[in-house]
Each structure stands twice: as C-alpha cells, then as structure tokens.
Chains A and B, each alone.
Chain A
Amino acid sequence: MSKPEALSPSQFKQQLTEAIPHLRAFGRSLSGDRDVADDLVQDTLLKAWAARDRFIAGTSMRAWTFVILRNTFFSSMRRKKFTANYDELVAERILSAPAPQQEPLHLADLQRGLMELSDDQREAIILVGAGGYSYEEAADIANCAVGTMKSRVSRARKTLESILEEGRFTSASDGHGSMTATALENIIGAVEKIAP
C-alpha cells in the first residue's frame, strides 16, 4: 500500500491555524471554561504538529484535530488535569435573537445545562447541534456507531430542554470552583435518573 500523501509543513500549519477557532469553540463547549479550553487547544496543537506525518492530505483537518482535542480532554478528565466547569465570566451574555414572544436564551443557562449532561451526551450535542457535523461525522470523531451518536444527541436534547425549561440546575453547575469527580458523577447519576 502506498504511503498517504502528506502536506508540507507550511500547508499543514495553514490548515491547523484555520481549525483553531473551531477547536476553541469545541473545547469551550466541552469544558465550559475559556481558560481550560485554550489549554486544551494548545495541547491539541502540539500533538497535532508532532503527529503531522499521520495526517492525510485531503481529509478534514478540523475533524482530525477534534479527535485529538476530545481524546486529550477525556483522558485529562480521568487524570483530573481538566475539570468540566461553568464559566461565570459569560454568565450574563444573551444568546440568539428570539421571536418577540420568546424569552432569550442565556448563555449562562445553556452552559450550565450542558455541564449537567454526561460527557458523551454533551460532546454529541455540541458536535451535531452546535458544530453542524452530520451524525456520521460526529460518530467518527467520537469513535462510536452512528446509531449511538443519534441516541446520544436525542437524549442530550431532551435532557437539556427539560433542564432549561424547568430551570432544574444542580448545585454542582453553579459555577463556584471546579467540579470534583464525585460531583460530576452525582450529576451524571441525577441526569440518568431523569432521562427518559
């Protein structure tokens, strides 16, 4: 089998640079924290650069680096280097221009709601609902079956809608400090209880 075509360092760097804003958005949605997300992005850039020979020209740099970022995030979560958190700095930002009879959706509420989802559900709804990936692409990034991805998105959407409608946030997403693994497990347990 012939070796896959590689990009020149400058081409690789160009594509990597173009992916950075998306990496920041994905990282921030996953972690709920600006600084943690930017640390994740830096780790991702270093790993991507070190592994650039393995990137196949013509494939999606964004998807490739998303895989690196999410793997970094989840393995770091296990080592507790990063913790999922809620960013108080953006607490009052209002998202979306609502229809006249709709309340605006606050970024704070959305972020808190996201942080109450399990990691895989949060990742799924970010990739599909925010990043605009197809179920197939998102499944590739998350290394799961397409059916699993669809199921995660559906459960995430229902849970998030329910949390946002009822304002049913747990104290662990109040934004005071980092969540401990135990708190995170409690949240996941609580969400699993209310999820249909």
Chain B
Amino acid sequence: MANRDKCSKGSSTAGENEKRSKDMPVKSKDDMQQRLGLGLKNMYLNVLDEPLPDDILTLLDQLDVDDEDESDAIRSDGNE
C-alpha cells in the first residue's frame, strides 16, 4: 500500500515497529478512513438486505384496517 510509510508514527523504535508489523497489519490514516467508510456503508446495507420482520408487516397491514374501521365508525355515527 502506498501510504504504508505514514503509519510509522512519531518516535516508535524499529523494534516496536517490527513487533507491530507482526501483531497487526500496518494501517495508514487513509486505509482507516477507507475501511471506516466501507464499514459504515456495509453496516447500513446489511440491514437493507434483511427481510422485514413479521410484526412490522402486521403493523403495515393494520394501518389500513384501523383507518377503515375509523371511517366506518364515523359513518355509522353520522347515520345515527
């Protein structure tokens, strides 16, 4: 990665850098921003791909029904 050198932060010793490179991949600020952006988008997209839960579907169906019931009630009140 082109930005790899940017990761050697400040006063790290060569030994520390070597240990770090063994423990974890070297990351630059750009890498982190890229991963963060991708991670956020994917977190959001993962949810978009999920099927809607039954209780939400039931609620959606109920919206119309409640409305019709209300209209019927108003109509019958008016007729009385």
Contact = CB atoms under 8 A, between A and B. Distances in A.
B46 to A, nearest CB: 8
A92 interface: no
Interface range for A: 35 or more
Given A38-B55, A99-B1, A25 B48 contact: yes
Contacts of A28: 47
Interface string B37-68: 11111111111101011011001100110010
A38 B58 CA distance: 13
Contacts of A21: 47-48, 50, 52
Contact of A42 (B37, B55, B64): B55
Interface stretch (A73-81, A126-134, A138-146, A174-182): A126-134
B43 A107 contact: yes
A45 B40 contact: no
B35 interface: yes
Contacts of A49: 63, 67
Interface in A86-121: 93, 95-96, 98-99, 101-103, 105, 107, 110-111
B14 interface: no
Contacts of B63: 13, 45-46, 49
A114 to B, nearest CB: 8
B11 interface: no
A189 interface: no
Nearest to B60: A17
A13 B44 contact: no
Contact of B33 (A93, A98, A161): A161
Interface of B: 1, 4, 24-27, 29, 31-33, 35-48, 50, 52-53, 55-56, 59-60, 63-64, 67
13 contacts: A9-B64, A22-B48, A25-B44, A38-B56, A95-B39, A101-B25, A102-B25, A103-B27, A107-B39, A125-B40, A129-B36, A161-B32, A165-B32
